[in-house]
């Protein structure tokens, strides 16, 4: 097999590299900068040029990072490697690997919905496709993003009329910036953000992603009223002392998990918006079709269910054990050390 699940990550023996390894390796080929796909300690990293700033930002100054533009092949020991837009977050890529006429594509994370912060997913033909399966159940279907964003705007309007702060939680890298970019289309009001989002948002802005003005909620004068303001915050800020400044507020979570009936209430949010950076069920099936692959390996999420479904449709499909984590479910802190503000690490209430 050209790529196999080894102890440290997905391994290409012919090229001597790993894709999104979870242990330090000699040569890491990286799909995108989320913490479960990009880990510290490898000797060298290769990623898509669009994602290079984010990868470097997350790894820190010492790491050796090289990049290639989307579509441009890099040859590693006779194996051709190229990156193709995955539509997941800014700079995210599928990794295409070609050796002696055999073509594999490792998807990383991907989505098919439009996202103003990144290049759209590009279907890539291959014989073997390694897919994620975060939301691989038929109940996960997304409304068009404009409709979900309109719901967020309506909620903000409602809170503005009620004179209450509206605190929207989401993944700190990708989701938060996507929400900001979407809001820029319907308002020119400044949005407040948690400090953990500032640097990542700056990287996006400096990379040319159009984003509305943001204000750091901690920089505002003590006693400032956030009545009617929208505040975007990472999950790690939930239940922290940082939240006290907002007093009586309405809370919401932007995530694909909000599609599950009762999930919002169980997790204690006032509102839920099913806005995901992962493909929904039709998006996954469409992508498998578009790839033309006869063989599919399934990583993170509903791996067994999805592999079984694909087998029933006549494909060769197997789940693969990996350490990827998928989309945080709204109760856990998702930030690594160094990205959070002091005082926001208190445990989450409930489950
Ligand atoms: Zn991801
Ligand atoms: Zn993932």
Q: Give me the residues of the chain with pLDDT under 50, please.
A: 332-351
The neighbourhood of ligand 1, an ion, using CB within 5 A, equals 34, 109
Distance 45 CA to ligand 2 centre (A): 18
Closest ligand to the CA of 325: 2
Q: What is the pLDDT of residue 140?
A: 97
Partners of 318 in beta bridges: 297
Q: Among candidates 267, 265, 238, which has minimal Cα distance to 169?
A: 238
Partners of 103 in beta bridges: 98
Q: What is the pLDDT of residue 188?
A: 84
Q: What is the pLDDT of residue 61?
A: 84
Distance 324 CA to ligand 2 centre (A): 5
Give the burial class of 289: count Cβ atoms within 10 A of its Cβ; 0-12 exposed, 13-18 middle, 19 or more buried. exposed
Q: What is the pLDDT of residue 331?
A: 60
Q: Are 14 and 2 in contact (CB under 8 A)?
A: yes
User: What CA–CA distance (Å, rounded) separates 304 from 329?
Assistant: 20
Q: What is the pLDDT of residue 344?
A: 31
User: What CA–CA distance (Å, rounded) separates 32 from 35?
Assistant: 9
Q: What is the pLDDT of residue 350?
A: 31
The neighbourhood of ligand 2, an ion, using CB within 5 A, equals 109, 324
pTM, two decimal places: 0.92
- Gyration radius of the chain's alpha carbons: 20
User: What CA–CA distance (Å, rounded) separates 52 from 64?
Assistant: 11
Pull the structure tokens for residue 221.
């004068």
Q: What is the pLDDT of residue 346?
A: 33
Q: What is the pLDDT of residue 49?
A: 97
Q: Among candidates 126, 305, 332, which has minimal Cα distance to 238?
A: 332
Distance 208 CA to ligand 1 centre (A): 21
Distance 179 CA to ligand 1 centre (A): 16
Q: What is the pLDDT of residue 224?
A: 81
Q: Are 293 and 127 in contact (CB under 8 A)?
A: yes
């Amino acid at each position: 097999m050209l790529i196999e699940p080894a102890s440290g990550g997905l391994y290409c023996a012919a090229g001597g590299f790993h894709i999104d390894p979870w242990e330090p390796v000699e040569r890491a080929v990286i799909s995108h900068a989320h913490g479960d796909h990009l880990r510290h300690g490898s000797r060298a990293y290769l990623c898509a040029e669009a994602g290079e700033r984010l990868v470097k930002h997350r790894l820190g100054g010492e790491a050796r990072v090289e990049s290639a533009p989307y579509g441009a092949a890099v040859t590693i020991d006779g194996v051709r490697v190229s990156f193709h837009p995955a539509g997941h977050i800014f700079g995210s890529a599928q990794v295409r690997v070609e050796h002696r006429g055999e073509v594999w594509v490792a998807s990383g994370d991907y989505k098919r919905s439009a996202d103003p912060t990144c290049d759209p997913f590009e279907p890539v033909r291959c014989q073997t496709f390694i897919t994620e399966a975060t939301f691989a159940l038929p109940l996960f279907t997304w409304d068009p993003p404009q409709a979900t964003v309109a719901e967020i705007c309506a909620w903000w309007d409602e809170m503005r009329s009620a004179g209450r702060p509206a605190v929207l939680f989401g993944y700190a890298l990708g989701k938060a910036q996507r929400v900001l970019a979407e809001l820029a289309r319907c308002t020119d009001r400044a949005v407040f953000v948690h400090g953990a989002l500032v640097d990542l948002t700056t990287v996006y802005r400096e990379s040319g992603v159009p984003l509305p003005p943001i204000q750091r909620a901690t920089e505002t004068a003590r006693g400032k009223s956030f009545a009617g303001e929208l505040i975007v915050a990472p999950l790690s800020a939930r239940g922290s002392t940082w939240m006290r400044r907002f007093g009586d507020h309405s809370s919401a979570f932007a995530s694909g998990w909000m599609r599950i009936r009762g999930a919002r209430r169980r997790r204690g949010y006032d509102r839920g918006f099913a806005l995901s950076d992962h493909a929904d069920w039709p998006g996954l099936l469409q992508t498998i079709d578009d790839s033309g692959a006869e063989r599919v390996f399934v990583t993170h999420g509903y791996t067994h269910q999805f592999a079984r479904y694909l087998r029933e449709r006549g494909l060769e499909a197997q789940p693969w054990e990996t350490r990827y984590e998928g989309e945080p479910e709204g109760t856990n802190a998702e930030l690594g050390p160094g990205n959070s503000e002091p005082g926001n690490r208190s445990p989450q209430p409930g489950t």
